[in-house]
Amino acid sequence: MGQVIVVTSGKGGVGKTTTTANIGTGLALLKHRKVVMIDADIGLRNLDVVMGLENRIVYDLVDVVQGVCRLKQALIRDKRFENLYLLPAAQTKDKTAVSPEQMKNLCDQLKEEFDYVLVDCPAGIEQGFKNAIAGAEKAIIVTTPEVSAVRDADRVIGLLEAAGFEEPQLIINRIRPDMVKRGDMMDIDDIIDILAIDLLGVIPEDERIVISTNRGEPAVADESSKAGQAYRNVTRRLEGENVPLMSLDVEPTLMEKIKMLFGLRARR
Amino acid sequence: MDFLRLFSRDDVSSKDIAKERLRLILVHDRANVSPQFLEMIKSQIINIISDYVDIEEEGLEVKLTRMKKDEDATVPALVANIPIKRIKHVARA
């Protein structure tokens, strides 16, 4: 019997879908787990695009729930990664097309057959959020090092705890080590301290995420991507491995190198 | 004069400003205190205190903030600033 994990954040645009795509792909690719990713963002589906599977959609989540097709028919198998499947959201319906009970039933069916069921939650804390968490037993919260995103994460943690989730885990996305170093961005400890929650991973800001999203290929499979490396670490932690946080040290700038050369500045 | 200084607020790093703002926001969010609730407290305080002192109602300020409990722990605190115009006769026993 597999486990159902919801990826949520409250605030939009912090990287829920990218995180779902990379963790899902990571678990299938590195750990050979049987994984299905559900896009719960009905009306604004995107996980299919991030995964590069948008041309293969026939049926969707709402079709399954309304009995238009069988569950098996709506699952898209990713041909690049063995054991990876996507259940896309409907694009023309809205969030009320599905109820929390229906989502729970669906997740219960899927976890019979899959090791992991990952639910990509829509932004917000209304119906779509309630649907997305209904069938999940574990939650991953994605935030960025900004006041607004951390505030929303705090709100969502409260709602999850009220809904009976025991230990939600945090992913801090899009951290910029250079800005942290000069004191212009909250760092990992600041955020963990404020939210009082377990840390699952830290993903550095990385241009390669944009490139991989352009191509529809998750960065976790890209050996040269720093964010990809961070997602590989997250994947291994989810499987119970003890992986230290990757070093986010910044390369000294040219000016700093010159200063160091002349001994003007002690090396830190 | 350091030209770049012009763009920074004092010498506090923007990260510390973010952290402080966030902490205060969360005190409010977590306590789930509405402005109406604070207004309610405010008017009750005025009611009670007015029996004994004349207060400057426009200057009255009630807010939720944080207070240092010990070295590194802070707790939410309700702070009221009440400017007094004059102590009423009944209060002087």
Residues A81-103: tens digit of each pLDDT: 999 999 999 999 888 999 999 99
Picking from A11, A190, A191 by the largest number of B CB atoms within 10 A of its own CB, the best residue to mutate is A190
Length reported for chain A: 268
Distance from CA of A147 to the nearest CA of B (A): 6
Residue A169 is predicted with a pLDDT of: 98
Residue A263 has pLDDT above 90, yes or no: no
3 state SS for chain A:
CCEEEEEECCCCCCCHHHHHHHHHHHHHHHHCCCEEEEECCCCCCCHHHHCCCHHHCCCCHHHHHCCCCCHHHHCEECCCCCCEEEECCCCCCCHHHCCHHHHHHHHHHHHHHCCEEEEECCCCCCHHHHHHHHCCCEEEEEECCCHHHHHHHHHHHHHHHHCCCCCCEEEEEEECHHHHHCCCCCCHHHHHHHHCCEEEEEEECCHHHHHHHHHCCCHHHCCCCHHHHHHHHHHHHHCCCCCCCCCCCCCCCHHHHHHHHCCCCCCC
Of all residues in chain B, what percent carry a pLDDT higher than 90?
Answer: 11
Chain A contact set for B20 (CB, 8 A): none
Q: How does pLDDT run across A152-197, given as a tens digit for each residue?
A: 999 999 999 999 999 999 999 999 999 999 999 999 999 999 999 9
Interface of B with A in 5-64 (CB under 8 A): 13-16, 18-19, 21-23, 25-26, 29-30
Out of B19, B26, B30, name the one closest to residue A186 (CB): B19
Q: How does pLDDT run across A52-90, given as a tens digit for each residue?
A: 999 999 999 999 999 999 999 999 999 999 999 999 999
Chain A contact set for B31 (CB, 8 A): none
The residue extents of the domains of chain A are 3-261
Picking from B8, B15, B30, B32 by the largest number of A CB atoms within 10 A of its own CB, the best residue to mutate is B15
CATH fold of A3-261: Rossmann fold (3.40.50)
Q: Alpha-carbon Rg of chain A, whole angstroms?
A: 19
Q: Are strands B74-81 and A116-120 parallel, antiparallel or unpaired?
A: unpaired
CB A10 within 8 A of CB A139: no
Q: How far is CA A119 from the centre of its chain?
A: 9
List the beta bridge partners of residue A172: A143, A202
Distance from CA of B18 to the nearest CA of A (A): 6
Please give the model's pTM, rounded to 2 decimal places. Answer: 0.83
User: Could you give the ipTM of this predicted complex?
Assistant: 0.81
